Amino acid sequence: MMRASLMLLVLAGAFAASPTTTSPIAAISPVGANDTQLDAARIKYANILREAILTTVSGMIDVVAGSGHNLSLSNVEWNATVDKDVGGTDALPPDFKDMLAQLIPAKAQQKAAFLSHVLGVVFRSNVPLDVAYAHVMNGNHAEYTDVFKNHGDQLKGFGKFVESGHGFGFGFQLFCGCKLIFTTGGGFGGGFTADAFVGTQGGLGGGGGTQAFVGGLEDEGKDDTPALNIGGGGGGSLTGSGASTDFGQLIPVASMQDAHSRLIGPQLKKCPSGMLSVVGGGGAGMGVTVSEGDTVTAYGGGLHLKFTSSEAAANDMKCGGKLLHDSSNNQGGSYSAISNATSACRSQCVSAKTKGLSEFWKCTCPCTKNAFQAMNLTFASKMLCQ
């Protein structure tokens, strides 16, 4: 069965692309924005989440790569996006709109907390790795759900039906030359409804996965199998949660610090100067719909983020474009091509779904892996279909 967290990692990895210079917040002028107050909240949402992802990834790199390497995320491209199908916010009462404007960045803070917990529990603590991702979700469930419950309880007092949801994913890869050494990613999402009659209801879920590879640097890792292969997650309603680890995990180390010492650090010492690269990205989306009689108001937006270390572009050229997967050409695998491939595999395997989720993954995983390999995506050969 394909690892659930690896699918999150694949989806997050789709955001990796060619580097540009950092985009300051003042340069953002999204098309279609129609409400100054909510637009400000949406840009704050993107800004909070951007900083949280970059801070978390930098912390993860410090743990797995150690000191003495030039792996700062010097090339960053990002923008705050806005949904096209928005409108009607001018009809909302000012105090109600104030609460929506508070909810939007609160969702980003919720995701930022998840990122902080993943960094602290999975990468920096001594919590056993096989349960670390599950521990993040179960151990912090109350904090995550409080965002929904508190804002939902405030909004339901206005006599309107409010629906709100969001999700995000992130991931990055560490290369020596053309060889993939380490990769990790994760995601988190949830939503709620608030109504004066039924109260506040909703749920959330999240998780992540990590792989590390060993072997000779000269073979570009073509035949490598993971030396470290972990993942897990959890989720639940606003009142309770559950969590699990992935099947078929391989955990030869006690902690991420141990992984650095035994698996990753020795390879980095052998890596020639200037050949280390970090490539990654993330994306997020959120939306709010307010219904009152025949009137519907909608507002939404998100974040698009790409980042690399300073040597990534030069190393990508040496590797024939395998590192950055430039979305401007077909060889690298554009975002639309990745989406089309996964959709085609799901359609192809829909009949297997009637036999259970396990059979569905047994069908979709090899299909997706083959499609990604045909796009020359480096991580595709590392996908495990068990």
The DSSP symbol for 153 reads: H
61 shares a domain with 22:
yes
Listed residue (181, 379, 381) closest to 275, CA to CA:
181
User: What tokens appear for 305 in the block?
Assistant: 């983020």
Q: Which domain covers residue 190, as residue numbers?
A: 4-324
Cα–Cα distance, 304 to 317 (Å, whole number):
24
Identify the burial level of 172 via C-beta atoms within 10 angstroms of its C-beta, where 0-12 means exposed, 13-18 middle and 19 or more buried. Answer: buried
**List of residues 6+ apart from 232 with CB closer than 8 A:** 5, 130, 131, 132, 133, 134, 207, 208, 209, 243, 244, 245, 246
Tell whether 355 and 303 lie within a shared domain.
Answer: no
Are 11 and 52 in a shared domain? yes
The answer on 205 and 181 residing in a single domain is yes
User: Domain boundary at 272, 300, 324, which?
Assistant: 324
Measure the CA–CA gap between 93 and 47, rounded to whole angstroms: 26
Distances (CA, A) of 200 to 33, 93, 232, 275, 368: 28, 21, 28, 52, 38
pLDDT in 10s for each residue of the chain, 386 residues: 233 333 333 333 333 322 233 333 323 333 334 578 999 999 999 999 999 999 999 999 999 998 778 788 989 999 998 886 677 788 888 999 999 999 999 999 999 999 999 999 999 999 999 999 999 999 999 999 999 999 999 998 888 899 999 999 999 999 999 999 999 999 999 999 999 888 999 999 999 999 999 875 555 445 567 889 999 999 999 999 999 888 778 888 999 999 999 999 999 999 999 999 999 999 999 999 998 877 888 899 999 999 999 999 999 999 888 888 644 443 334 455 666 787 788 888 888 877 766 677 788 888 988 888 887 766 676 666 76
Which H or E element spans position 279?
strand 276-292
Same domain, 352 and 311: no
Q: Are residues 366 and 288 in the same domain?
A: no
Residues 317 and 335 placed together within one structural domain of the fold: no
Domain shared by 247 and 352, yes or no: no
The domain boundary, picked from 324, 343, 367, lies at: 324
pTM above 0.85, yes or no: no
Task: Verify that 283 and 337 share a domain, yes or no.
Answer: no
Asked whether residue 240 falls in the same domain as residue 114, the answer is: yes
Any idea what DSSP says for residue 208? E
Total domains present in the chain? 2
Which residue, chain included where needed, has tokens 């969001």? Answer: 166
The C-alpha atoms of residue 273 and residue 257 are separated, in whole angstroms, by 23
Residues 94 and 140 in one domain: yes
Q: Residue 182: which of 224, 210, 221 has the closest Cα?
A: 210
Kindly give the interhelix angle for 36-65 and 94-117, rounded to the nearest 10 degrees.
Answer: 0
Q: CA-to-CA distance for 221 and 175, rounded, in angstroms?
A: 10
One domain, residues 105 and 146: yes
